[in-house]
Amino acid sequence: MSIFHYHNKDNKDNLYESIFYRYYYRIFSFLSKKISNRDDVLDVMQDIFTHLWDKGLLTSENSEAIIFNVTKQKLALFYRRMKKQQYDLDKFAEISDDSSFEEFDERIEHEMAMDKLQQDIELLPELRREILILNKFEGVSQQEIAERYAMSRSAVENQISKAIIFLKKRLPRS
């Protein structure tokens, strides 16, 4: 039976509160060893407990395992975000050293468009996505792709065409 199995909201609140106080210090200590900024530690903790609340994942038998798995996942997410922020700061420093803000704006818009394109490509069916990436990003010929996937060249061409049509439809209208 789930710890979050409840008959009313007060019961759920009480159960969650007991979990929160039982694990708060342990999680704080664990994260403090991994993250130097206290505010960042508190932000990650908030993400952890919010996730646990929203998902209602805990059971009496496995609550500790789930809490620490979620903690590790949120810590990994924090590291990825920090790495991206550092990359963005490095890019900003690189751009501001040698170009105007107009060029900076253009580069930011280009990077945002590329991020959007990458997200849209991820929405394609797997085979179509692989074919598009091989042909348009890695420069593999349609004939080579056809041989690799044991399909006709026209089938490869058709997959690329469908992918491009899909991506064009997802372009923002200006």
**pLDDT tens-digit map of 122-168:** 899 999 999 998 998 889 999 999 999 999 999 999 999 999 999 99
For the chain, which residues score pLDDT lower than 70? 1-13, 57-62, 87-105, 107, 174
Distance from C-alpha of 131 to C-alpha of 75, rounded to nearest angstrom = 35
- Which among 1, 25, 30 is positioned nearest to 15, based on CA atoms? 1
State the pLDDT at residue 94: 57
CATH domain 101-173 topology = Arc Repressor Mutant, subunit A (1.10.10)
Q: Which CATH number fits domain 1-95: 1.20.5, 1.10.287, 1.10.1740, 1.10.3470?
A: 1.10.1740
pLDDT the model gives residue 5: 44
What three-state secondary structure class fits 45?
helix
Boundaries of CATH 1.10.1740 in the chain? Answer: 1-95
